[in-house]
């Protein structure tokens, strides 16, 4: 989508710090990290919110979650722990309307989230 910043990041029009890329996923460092490790995992195809997922996307979502686990392991957080978050819609904190899985690690995390 032409006015989506994450589509521009996937295309490379907006620079980002790449962590992982394949045909279906791109992972990059969050520009305003909320933890020592803060990576965003996005599908290369534009999907605005979790509400827009279809049954065909079940594999894609599974790949996003498994990629988050792989990146956490690569950075040494598999045993220590990490958090994964999908925000859906504004009240939950979604500010970019291209789905993204936050991977956060490296500090204690409170619960419930704010």
Residues that bind Zn ion (CB under 5 A): 1, 4, 6-7, 46, 98
Alpha-carbon span 29 to 31, nearest angstrom? 6
Residue choice 26, 28, 77, 82 for contact with ligand 5GP (CB under 6 A): 28
Contact present, 29 and 19 (Cβ < 8 Å): yes
Q: Smallest distance from the beta carbon of 114 to ligand 5GP, in angstroms?
A: 12
* Catalytic residue check, 100: yes
* Near ligand 5GP in 35-64, by CB under 6 A: 40
Q: Which stretch binds ligand 5GP (CB under 6 A): 44-52, 54-62, 65-73, 89-97?
A: 89-97
Using alpha carbons, list the distances in angstroms from residue 113 to 8, 12, 26, 85, 109: 29, 32, 26, 10, 8
**Residue 48 binds which entry of ligand 5GP, Zn ion, none, with Cβ cut-offs from 5 to 8 Å by kind?**
none
Dihedral of alpha carbons 59, 52, 110, 37, sign: positive
Alpha-carbon span 44 to 62, nearest angstrom? 15
The catalytic residues are 100
**Residues at the site binding ligand 5GP, with contacts judged by CB under 6 A:** 5, 14, 16, 28-32, 40, 87, 93-96
């Amino acid at each position: 989508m032409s006015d989506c910043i994450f589509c521009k990041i996937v295309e490379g029009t907006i620079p980002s710090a790449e962590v992982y890329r394949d045909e279906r996923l791109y992972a990059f460092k969050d520009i305003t990290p909320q933890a020592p490790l803060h990576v965003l995992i996005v599908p290369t195809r534009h999907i605005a919110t979790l509400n827009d997922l279809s049954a065909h996307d079940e594999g894609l979502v599974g790949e996003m979650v498994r990629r988050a686990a792989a990146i956490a392991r690569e950075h040494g957080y598999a045993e220590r722990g990490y958090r994964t978050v999908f925000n859906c819609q504004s009240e939950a904190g979604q500010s970019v309307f291209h789905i993204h899985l936050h991977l956060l690690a490296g500090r204690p995390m409170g619960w419930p989230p704010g």
